[in-house]
Amino acid sequence: MRFGVFKELSSGETRVALVPDAVKLLLKKKHAVLVESGAGLAASIPDAEFAAAGAQIIPDAAQLAALADCLLKVHAVSNEQAAVLPEGKGLIGFLAPLRNPELVQILARRRIFSFSLDAIPRISRAQSMDTLSSMATIAGYRAVLLAANQLPKFLPMLTTAAGTIRPSQCLVLGAGVAGLQAIATARRLGAVVEAFDVRSAVREQVRSLGATFIEIAGQENLEDKGGYAKQVSAETLAQQQKLLHERARVADFIISTAQVPGKPAPRLITREMVADMKPGSVIVDLAAESGGNCELTQANQTVRQYGVTILGPTNLPATLPLDASRMFARNLSNFIQEITNENGFTMDWKNEIFAETCITLNGEVNQKRRTP
């Protein structure tokens, strides 16, 4: 197959779907790779490096779309871009079908054979393809650095000529991949860390990183079969907020990562909780794109209320574009090898990875996938 790598057009997006090492891997599998000129520049990868790896450099997106059998992107194409894609092409990227139902319908009308990387199932065999986890690792790491940059104090305990400086107190909400990386990074920088998650199964992971796991006494394990957090009841949410209100009062910074796939982010930090935090405290809300865990969060904005700084970044992986692209590309190349063979797409509907990630085909929406 001929795979085409688009230059990303989304505002602030600096990643590229493939890197030269991934190009070489696909060439070994008898695929061809076409790269739009300048696609890797924001990630510090010039066209010459792609060409040296064996990719063909194509001058513009329209020509690339015409020549490639399957188009590769990080972010979803816009509705406008999707409407002019040549019919019958393949498309792989973060399509977020549950949040973009109109895009899904456009892709179906254009008879695009599309796959969404955010739909890769949480099974052992798919770990090497899990782009969401790779990007969450970066987000958790960067979130702590953002908080440290905003705090008016050190993170570690220091013994100085002016006496001993106490370490900062960190509260991490959600102990998925991003949360665990945030815990590890905050601990490496010397902060004292507490973490909360509705899934009691992550308790030992949190403790293994040197953090304290806080939980509601007697709470059931709210984890679905895919390993994600379930949406909680109003009563459970009220208990959570009471507990978190107590812990927020002593925190110097909060890293918030709690999300439920396909639903608005749970509201864990209320205005009243923010008002009770220490002046100079910082909240980095990684759930900003899906509505935010904090009531005051605004996506891609810095909000200052009650002496607290609230950050709502939505694309932290793009702030480390070189390594983010390398990680994404390795996951993507593994995924491509899983769903293709020498004849094109495998069409193996018994393969859970293929069946779950396929969004549209033959002018229809794949009903295997959950749709709004």
Tell whether 154 and 91 lie within a shared domain.
no
Amino acid identity of 100? Answer: N
pLDDT tens digits for 262-304?
A: 789 999 999 999 999 999 999 999 999 999 999 999 999 999 9
Residue 342 has a pLDDT of 87
Range of the domain at 360: 2-119+320-364
Catalytically active residues are 122, 127, 130, 133, 228
The count of structural domains within the chain is: 2
303 bridge partner residues:
310
Tell whether 310 and 324 lie within a shared domain.
no
371 lies in some domain: no
Residues with Cβ within 8 Å of 141's Cβ and at least 6 positions away in sequence, in order, are 181, 182, 185
Residues with Cβ within 8 Å of 253's Cβ and at least 6 positions away in sequence, in order, are 147, 148, 150, 151, 168, 169, 170, 171, 191, 281, 282, 283, 284
How many H-runs (helices) and E-runs (strands) does the chain carry?
A: 12, 19
Would you call 25 helix, strand, or coil by DSSP? helix
337 lies in some domain: yes
Task: Tell me how crowded residue 243 is: count the other CB atoms within 10 A of its CB.
Answer: 16
Q: How far apart are CA 66 and CA 85, in angstroms?
A: 8
Tell whether 307 and 329 lie within a shared domain.
no
Q: Cα dist. 365→94, 194, 344 in Å?
A: 16, 43, 20
Could you say which DSSP state residue 11 is in? Answer: T
Tell whether 156 and 302 lie within a shared domain.
yes
Q: How confident is the model at residue 372 (pLDDT cuts 50, 70, 90)?
A: very low
Tell whether 153 and 226 lie within a shared domain.
yes
Q: What is the largest CA-CA distance in the chain?
A: 71
150 lies in some domain: yes
Token pair belonging to 279? 């002046």
The model's pTM: 0.92
Tell whether 109 and 240 lie within a shared domain.
no
For position 264, which CATH number holds?
3.40.50.720
Tell whether 182 and 265 lie within a shared domain.
yes
Tell whether 108 and 186 lie within a shared domain.
no
